[in-house]
Amino acid sequence: MLSSLHIRNFALIDELNVDFNNGFTIITGETGAGKSILLGGLSLVLGKRADLSQIKNKDEKCVIEAIFDIAKYNLKGLFNTLDLDFDVQTIIRREILPSGKSRAFINDTPVTLDSLVALSEHLIDIHSQHQTQQLTEDSYQFQVIDALAGNKNVLIEYSSELRTYKLLDKELEELRLSKSELIKEYDYNLFLLKELSEIDLDNLDLEDLESQFEALNNVEDISERLGNVRSIISAENLGLTDQLNNVKQELTRISSFGKMYNVLLERITSLSIDLEDILVELDNLHENLSTDPQELEQINSQLQIINNLFQKHSVSTVTELTNIRTDLKLKVDNTENLDDSIKEKEGEIAKLRTELDVLASKINKQRNSATPILVTKLEAILSDLGMPNAKFKIDITSTQNYFQNGKDTLQFLFMANKGSSFNTLKKSASGGEMSRIMLAIKSILSEYIQLPSIMFDEIDTGVSGEISNKMGSIMKQMSKTMQVFSITHLPQIAAKGDTHFKVFKLDKENKTHTNLKRLNEEDRVVEIAQMLGGINVSESAIAHAKQLLN
């Protein structure tokens, strides 16, 4: 419920602080007194777009703050979704700065207008002529029927399944669209994959292969160089072996003359041994030199294939070729398994359609069960509201289509008078009739679901006498389970309120100001008497006012 409202520097309001009670609250005032200003300020709190022209003093910011008691509204989940701290006393504040910039806060946390609207629609419902037009929309008519049908939980489940169904259906369509493209590429990808698979890339050492090629390709030069090296080492008298032996002999003669000479001898001896080993290795290398032209051709061919693949795929390493091979294999496998994937997806969708059909059938059955109840209640209430011949015909038809709220289409038809024909509300109901139908629907809904606080803005326009008394009784009854406001010009309705406020204008220092006053019992008698007989209150008007209040 709306606990309090604070407005500062808005339109004709300097500053206004007002606390509200639960139950039935009446707001009255002369035409032009500023009731629309009060509604405008409240609408800003609920997410309406701000306008710089609404600031009274252009040098100061406009602030509108509302406190709501939401303990019974089960809104913790919504607060979590909006990433807001939950508090049973929730404070919503709007600020319009002199620059024209607008800011919104929920429990002192800055929020966007979208978040504000998402929350506010659960807090208070301002019923205006615009909202009455909702009655003509299928979506709102379904909401009413589903409330009576108790479809809330099954609709949540259906909506969740429908989201999954649409996602899978989209994936299936993408698979089917990609199939033709993949098939076009399949042959080429398969050719590339076979080309890469013919080489053992996983065990290929390109550096070693290149070394083998160089060795085979230059075998004569290598043989000649090895022979030259052997001659240098082993030539008689001038060879390295003989020269080292001569050095060793000279050092042997002086090795006993000092430790340093003995060390040199040991090093020369070690060199001599290494040289002998080198000579043996040279002989082995020379003996093992291969001159196989077939092997050379084979290695050369392999290197050419690899280099061609490097060039074709614009890469420079075997690792990159391996990665390309993996990607190609995945594409080829996907294409080869595409039919299986499509079939599997179709199976998932078929299963989901069956589940959706079961849920939609349950929704349809419960709607058809609730429809006669809604018609009976509507016609009974409207009869009390001066429309004894009002008749409704509601037809719900199941289709093959999956809509957001089931598979049904709806015909919500109305006939106001005997002898006329059924037609849509838009075509067959007048503005006054639409207001009474909306009041009847709100009254019925309040029996089935927890509605937010509701403010009826002159819903009684165009009615009087006993009809207005009945309308007041309906709103009074609704206020037993929810907070109800009524902005009214009718004394019969005003007298039924638990709390009564009057909007009035006051001229001060050559400026007009709008204010709001809570009326005591004596004030209420005067106010209702003026609503009955005008500004000059007669004794009979006072007596009539007291009678209405009692």
Contact yes or no for 342/171 (Cβ under 8 A): no
Angle at 186 between CA 182 and CA 191, to 5 degrees: 155
What is the residue whose two structure tokens read 């629907």?
A: 441
- Cα-flanking dihedrals φ and ψ of residue 290, to 5°? -100, 140
Q: 342's torsion region: left (phi>0), alpha (psi -120 to 50) or beta?
A: alpha
Q: How far apart are CA 390 and CA 377, in angstroms?
A: 12
Q: How far apart are CA 396 and CA 185, in angstroms?
A: 50
What is the residue whose two structure tokens read 């299928």?
A: 138
Q: Which amino acid, 540? A: S
Output the six-digit token pair for 389: 């011949």
Give per-residue pLDDT as tens, 493-549.
999 999 999 998 888 877 888 889 999 999 999 999 999 888 888 889 999 999 999
Give Cα separations from 520 to 433, 484, 500, 537 (angstroms). 34, 19, 8, 17
Average confidence (pLDDT) over 321-328: 86
Q: What is this structure's pTM?
A: 0.70
Q: Which amino acid, 309? A: L
DSSP string, 259-315: HHHHHHHHHHHHHHHHHHHHHHHHHHHHHH----HHHHHHHHHHHHHHHHHHHHHT-
Beta bridge partners of 487: 27, 457
Pairing state between β 24-28 and 499-508: parallel
If pLDDT is split at 50, 70 and 90, which confidence band does 435 have? Answer: confident
Beta bridge partners of 146: none
Residue, of 44 and 224, whose pLDDT is higher: 44
Q: How far apart are CA 345 and CA 168, in angstroms?
A: 7
Instruction: Give the contacts of 132 (CB within 8 A, at least 6 positions apart).
Output: 431, 434, 435, 438
Q: How far apart are CA 104 and CA 293, in angstroms?
A: 86
Q: How far apart are CA 454 and CA 448, in angstroms?
A: 15
**DSSP three-state, residue 449:** coil
Q: How far apart are CA 177 and CA 175, in angstroms?
A: 5
Average confidence (pLDDT) over 143-164: 95
Where do the domains of the chain lie, and which CATH numbers do they carry? 1-123+452-519 (3.40.50.300), 179-336 (no CATH), 520-550 (no CATH)
What DSSP character marks residue 50? P
Average confidence (pLDDT) over 180-203: 78
Give per-residue pLDDT as tens, 202-218.
777 767 766 666 666 66
Give per-residue pLDDT as tens, 8-34.
998 888 889 999 999 999 999 887 767
Give the DSSP H/E element, type plus range, for residue 404: none
Contact yes or no for 352/165 (Cβ under 8 A): yes
List alpha helices for 2-136, DSSP H: 35-45, 76-81, 113-120, 129-132
Give Cα separations from 415 to 423, 428, 445, 465, 510 (angstroms). 7, 7, 22, 24, 54
Q: How far apart are CA 186 and CA 401, in angstroms?
A: 37
In the chain, what percentage of residues exceed pLDDT 90? 45
Q: How far apart are CA 247 and CA 70, in angstroms?
A: 108
Burial of 182 (0-12, 13-18, 19+ CB in 10 A): middle
Give per-residue pLDDT as tens, 73-121.
889 999 999 999 999 999 999 999 988 888 999 999 999 999 999 999 8
Instruction: Give the contacts of 522 (CB within 8 A, at least 6 positions apart).
Output: none
Residue, of 306 and 526, whose pLDDT is higher: 526
